[in-house]
Amino acid sequence: MTNIKLYNKISQIGLDVFDNSKYYVAEDANAPEGILVRSAALHDEPFGKELLAIARAGAGVNNIPIDRCSENGIVVFNTPGANANGVKELAVAALLLASRDIVGGINWVATLKGQPEVGKLVEKGKSKFVGPEIKGKTLGVIGLGAIGGMVANTACALDMDVVGCDPYITVKNAWSISRAVRKADDYDAVYAQSDYITYHIPSLPSTKGIINKENIAKMKDGVRIINLSRGDLANIPDLIEALESGKVASYVTDFPCEELIGIPHVVCIPHLGASTPESEDNCAVMASEQLIDYIENGNIRNSVNYPEIVLPRTEANRVIVLHENIPNIITQISAALASDNVNIESLLSQAKGNNAVSIFGSNDSINEAIVADIAAIKGVVRVLVR
């Protein structure tokens, strides 16, 4: 029985992917080979030598110690795109919330309870909450991944002029973006043209604080900013200063913080981006399927620390080797298998930075001595037999 430990409440639809005769999936699972997690912080959690992989039911993985996992040959998965539609829909709402003071208007109407002639009071006071339409305005999209691309396409359908920039866009994501989306060479070009700017990028050392005084100065006066990605993309003091001066007309974020609560022209949403039943189900199913395929076959899809590698199963056994991306190591592994009279039927190797994975398929039996020989090769991090 393979143990899978849960660190959060995971959608039952995702848990149903596991075969109960082969897997024990629960919060009290001991010595787990796999972990399923949503938002729980794992940085201080001890990982046993049995742990093979961690699957995050969501896109962000800042709650997982990636470097420690890589050092110990633990593959970390996420689920890009599984919650994209939920976040996209919230981004559409955010565009409207950034344009008109809908929240302020709703809160003001609530104060009219018990007053006579509410209808007349509404007609008299509604001018305080007016705002522009989004049609014909320019939306700048920073990051054109699964979510950013969907937001860009939807904005085009809403008759907005859309300009986007993503230096790291994949071919797959590029194919999915409407031809109506104009490509900017850099972020500065997006800042200069946009009436609205929406961020869809991860939190990295290079992106933290990207919404700062220097970049805001490059934007149009009265720009409206949407951040549904990560709270730390914004330098809060710089942002508040820009809001107070009117340089930034409004800021809508899915990541409230104490400093922003109560600030005029700020709408703080309580992290609802992926909080839909559909998103939670999709993420859970995707995370579970990826975890199972790795544990059973060594295939890797959507890992943040190891390369994508998928080898169809045509042989009886396979050796999965996680190793450093260094010269001659595949030759050494092949030689170790040959010295133990193991014939290689199939072979696939991929690398991602310093981390690499090689899968060797064979119809010969693989014993512990063979595993020990491969594990002794310099640069080998982990050896699995499946």
- Residues with catalytic roles: 230, 259, 271
Pairing mode, if any, of strands 2-6 and 196-199?
A: unpaired
Angstrom distance (rounded) from CA 126 to CA 109: 9
Q: Which long-range contacts (CB under 8 A, 24 or more apart) does 235-240 make?
A: 235/209, 235/211, 236/260, 238/211, 238/212, 238/213, 239/211
β-strand pairing of 196-199 with 138-142:
parallel
Can you tell me which residue has the tokens 């579970």? 288
Q: How far is CA 305 from the centre of its chain?
A: 13
Q: Residue 3 forms beta bridges with which residues?
A: 24
**Which residues, at least 6 apart from 306, have a Cβ–Cβ distance to it below 8 Å?**
70, 75, 76, 300, 322, 352, 355, 356, 357
Q: What token pair was written down for 66?
A: 């990636």
Q: Are 283 and 61 in contact (CB under 8 A)?
A: no
CA neighbours closer than 13 Å in the CB half-sphere of residue 41: 2
Q: What are phi and psi of 300, to 5 degrees?
A: -125, 120
Sign of CA dihedral 48, 49, 55, 59: positive
Rg (CA), the chain: 25
Report the chain's terminal Cα–Cα distance, integer Å: 14
For residue 12, the tally of other CB atoms under 10 A from its CB is: 9
**Could you tell me which residues come within 8 angstroms of residue 249 by beta carbon, excluding any fewer than 6 positions away?**
98, 222, 223, 224, 265
Question: Given 3-state DSSP classes, what are the helix, strand and coil percentages for the chain, each rounded to the nearest 5?
Answer: 35, 20, 45
